[in-house]
Amino acid sequence: MKAVTAAEMNAIDRLTSEQHGVPSLTLMENAGAAVAAFVLEQWPTASRITVVCGRGNNGGDGMVAARRLHEAGKVVELLLLGPLEDLRPDPAAMVERMHNRPTVLLTSEDVVRETYQSLSDSDLIIDAIFGTGYQTRPEPSQTQQLADAAIAAINVCTAPVLSIDLPSGVNADDMTGSTLEHVCRSSAVITFTAPKPAHLFAPLTRGPMVVAQIGTPEAIVNGEQHLNIITPREVAGLFAPRPLDSNKGRFGHVMVVAGSMGKSGAAAMCSMAALRMGAGLVTAAVPGIVQPLVAGYAPELMTEGLGHSSANFFTPTDAARCLELAKSRSVLAIGPGLSQSEGVAEFVRRVVKGAHQPLVLDADGLNSFAGALKELPVQRPLVLTPHPGEMARLLGCTVSQVQAARTTAARDFARRLRCTVVLKGFRTIVATPLGELWVSATGNPGLATGGTGDILAGMIAGAIAQFPRQIDEAVWAAVYLHGLAADVAAAELGEECMVATDLLRYLPEAFRILHWRAADKKAHLGGWGR
C-alpha cells in the first residue's frame, strides 16, 4: 500500500472532489462512519464515549463519529476546543447534522475542569484534535493552549484512546520516529485512504493501526517518495489453498548453511523456520561437530556435516562440498551462527561466488563481506538481512549514522548492489533493487532477543523456495508474518518472556490472522487488536 505525505493527501482529497465528483462532506461522513464502525468492532462494550474535537476537518470526522455512535445507542459527549463560530466550513456543516446534540464548548478558563470531568468516567476517548495538517507546533495561541490542556488531560486518564488519522501533536511527515512533546497517547489509530510517513516510522501506538477507504479512487493515490507499507492484501494471495495433488517437491528445497560450535541453535532455528514457513524440504549444512546437535533438534530436518567431524566451524576447503550439495537446492540461506573465526569469511565468499540459486545472506554471512562488497554477486536474486550493526560494517560507517538515515541507507545500498535489503529494527525496511521501500508495522520489543534474526532469515528462504518468481512478495510476506507472530506471542506471553522459538510456535496463528485481515475492508498496518 502506497504511503503519501500530508501535502500529497491534501491534493488527493482535492482531486477526489474536483475531478471525481465526491463532495468533501461525503468524504468526511464516510470517515466518521468508519471511525464509529471501528469503535463498535474494537470496543463493543464501551458505553460512555468522549470525543475531543478540534476546529478542523479532523474534528469534523470526530463529530460524525460522535453522531453515529449516539445513533448506535452509546452515551456520547463531544468536547469542542473552541467556539462554534471558529469552525471550518465542513465541520460546521457536521454540527448542523447533529440536530442540537449537546456540545460542550471549552474555553481557556474552564478547559481543565471540564475536560477532567468529561473524561474521567469515559470507557473510551476519541482523539480528533489534530490530523495530518499538524506540521509544526504553532506559536502559543488560545487554540494551542486548549489543545495542550486537552491532550494533557487525556494522557492522565485510564480509558483507551482512539486517534483519528494520527495521535494529535504528531507531524504526519515524520520519518525519524522521534518522540515529540505534547503528543496524545494512543491505544489505536485509524486513518483514511493511505498511510502517512509517521504511520510507518513513528512509535505511535502499541495497538492496531488501520486504513479505511472513504471513496477516494485508488488510481489517484500516488506518492513521490516510492514509500509503501506492507499489508496483508499484498501478501496473503501467495498463500492460497494448495492444490490437492501437491507434493513436497512443489514447494522448494532450502539449504541452510549455518552454525558453529556453540551456535548450533542458530542453524536449527533458521532451518526449522524455513520448514514452518512452508518449504517442502530443508537441509542444514553445518560443521561436522554440530551435525548431531542440529539433527536432534527436529526429526523433520535433513542435515549434512561438512569437513572433519571434529571441525568447530567451516573452512575454505568446505566450499566445494557445499556447492556440490547446493546444486539441487532451490534457495540458500547463509550465515546464522557461522562465527567470525579464521577462514569462515573466505568459505562464505567462495560459496556465494559459486552458487547459482537465490541467496539469503544473514549474520556472519554478511560480516564476511565487510570491506569486500565487490565480491557480492549481482547475477542472481540476493537478499541481505542486516541489523543496524551489520549494515554499518557493510557501509563502513557508524550504527548511529545508519539509524539516523535508515531509509536512505537501505535504498542506496539496494540500488548500488542491485539486491534486496531487509534492514531490521523498529519498522523493518525492505528496499528493492529499483529503489522502492516497503515497511512493516508488525512486531514489538519482544523481538529484541537472540535468535529472532535467524528465524527471519529462515522464513525468507522458505518463502522464496515456494515463490521463486515472486521474490519481492515472498520477502514482504516473511517480514510481515515474522512481526505478526511476535505480536501474537507478546499478547500471550508478554514481551519480556518471549524467546525466538516462540515465533515458530505462534506462526500458524499469524497465518490465520493474515488471511482474516486480508479479507477485511480496512487495511491493517500492524499492532494488535481484536
Residue range 106-125, pLDDT digits in tens:
554 565 666 667 788 899 99
* Sequence-ordered alpha helix ranges (H) in 423-500: 452-466, 471-493
- Could you tell me the CATH number of the domain that includes residue 359? 3.40.1190.20
What one-letter code names the amino acid at 274? A
Q: Give a yes or no: residue 233 inside a domain.
A: no
Structure confidence at residue 110 (pLDDT): 60
Which of 225, 297, 219 is CA-nearest to residue 259? 297
Q: How confident is the model at residue 131 (pLDDT cuts 50, 70, 90)?
A: confident
Which pLDDT tens digit goes with each residue over 281-339?
A: 999 999 999 999 999 999 999 999 998 877 789 999 999 999 999 999 999 999 999 99
Can you tell me the mean pLDDT for 505-521? 95
Which pLDDT tens digit goes with each residue over 471-505?
A: 999 999 999 999 999 999 999 999 999 999 999 99
- Could you tell me the CATH number of the domain that includes residue 31? 3.40.50.10260
Is the domain of 475 the same as that of 335? yes
Is the domain of 159 the same as that of 57? yes
Quick check: 493 and 443 in contact, CB under 8 A? no
More confident residue, 526 or 253: 253
CA distance 128 to 60: 8
Which pLDDT tens digit goes with each residue over 218-245?
A: 999 988 888 999 999 999 999 999 999 9
Domain hosting residue 407, numbered range: 247-526
Q: What is the tally of structural domains in the chain?
A: 2
Q: Give a yes or no: residue 236 inside a domain.
A: no
Residue pointed to by grid coordinates 547459482: 356
Strand ranges for 272-424 from DSSP E: 281-287, 302-306, 331-334, 359-361, 382-384, 420-423
Do β-strands 253-257 and 420-423 pair in parallel, antiparallel, or remain unpaired? unpaired
Q: Give a yes or no: residue 215 inside a domain.
A: yes
Is the domain of 214 the same as that of 273? no
Domain-ending residue, one of 174, 189, 223: 223
Q: All 3 cell numbers of residue 429? A: 525496511
Quick check: 344 and 286 in contact, CB under 8 A? no
Q: How confident is the model at residue 101 (pLDDT cuts 50, 70, 90)?
A: low
Q: Give a yes or no: residue 234 inside a domain.
A: no
3-state SS track over 177-243: CCCCCCCCCCCEEEEECCCCHHHHHCCCCCCCEEEECCCCCHHHCCCCCCEEECCHHHHHHHHCCCC
Checking if the pLDDT of 246 tops 60, the result is: yes
Q: How confident is the model at residue 380 (pLDDT cuts 50, 70, 90)?
A: confident
Q: Give a yes or no: residue 1 inside a domain.
A: no
CA distance 96 to 262: 71
Helix (H) or strand (E) segment spanning residue 37: helix 24-42
